[in-house]
Homo-oligomer: A and B are copies of this chain.
């Protein structure tokens, strides 16, 4: 990777500077080829860095921003009234070419609105999408949209499919990522009109489209990119979080039932720890806002420093792989095809 700069909204998320500063310092320690800019209240950031008592990093800068977007602030209001917010300035730095990517754990709606307003969408992209990877038997599955767009046309879904394919290709070096369309059944008679139309569009797209997939295929199927409407994608994402939580809860309950089961747990501890690490949602933190003229990554609002580092890593990799540029050129091919047809 070349030496890149990533700007971090240091005030965003449930824990703000406390988490972001720690994540930044830890990340710099592990990665030599990156510079980070902490954007937010200079005084608070400095105090936090002092508290962490870290050695001074040349690769860590502070960029002051006087405002902060609240977690429940309506996006339009944030856009209008918070022009010097840590979130906005972090994205402005990408626009200005000072940073190669921006990350925020703040309000998703405001982040999407701000990123779209400041950076604009790529030519050929109508709407940016939120994407993230889900664990899968074969490794991981890219899923989009996860909530940016509650209603999508077949053309939007096609654009998502192109963006997801570019991402899987750029990040995981999968030559022709298998793309599936999320539906309620694999038979062609099922699904709603929007999905059936998208099915036809995807079939003729030249992408490696494998057809309809169902919710369980995200985790157990052969598919590498799953496209869907943001409403459905968000429900599916949150459902998976819920199931993971209840399974962990059941495991805890079973192992703490009595002295004997606790002893069993003690013996099994190394394996249980490895298992826990494997399903640790913190390892899946970081959702990309795709389709913009720049890399923007959303970290979970409740992320801790370990978790936030995964979001930094995603931004780091996407910027070094020049994902926006790759999406732009791939989408251009589609537009040229359309004009030729």
Residues of chain B within 8 A (CB-CB) of A231 are: 184, 191-192, 232
Checking B189, B235, B247, B261 against A236 with a beta-carbon cut-off of 8 angstroms, the contacting residue is B235
Q: How many chain A residues have a CB neighbour from B under 8 Å? A: 62
A217 to B269 CA separation, bound complex (whole angstroms):
29
Among A74, A232, A272, chain B packs the most CB atoms within 10 A around the CB of A232
- A187 closest partner in B (C-beta): B72
Q: How far is the CA of A151 from the CA of B257 in the complex (A)?
A: 44
The complex places the Cα of A147 from the Cα of B182 at a distance, in Å, of 13
Residue A40 at the chain B interface, CB threshold 8 Å? no
Assess whether A271 is in contact with B279, with CB atoms less than 8 Å apart.
Answer: no
Q: How far is the CA of A250 from the CA of B283 in the complex (A)?
A: 15
Q: Does A205 contact B (CB under 8 A)?
A: no
> Residues of B contacting A187 with CB < 8 Å?
72
- C-alpha spacing A239/B218, complex, angstroms: 7
A246 at the interface (CB under 8 A from B): yes
Give the CA-CA distance A182 to B238 in the complex, in Å: 11
A123 at the B interface (CB under 8 A):
no
Report which A residues bind B (CB closer than 8 A). 72, 74, 109, 135-137, 147, 150-151, 182, 184-185, 187, 189-192, 214-220, 228, 230-232, 234-247, 249-251, 254-255, 257, 260-261, 264-265, 267-272, 274-275, 278-279
Nearest first, the 6 closest Cβ-Cβ pairs linking A and B are: A215-B238, A216-B242, A215-B239, A219-B242, A268-B268, A267-B267
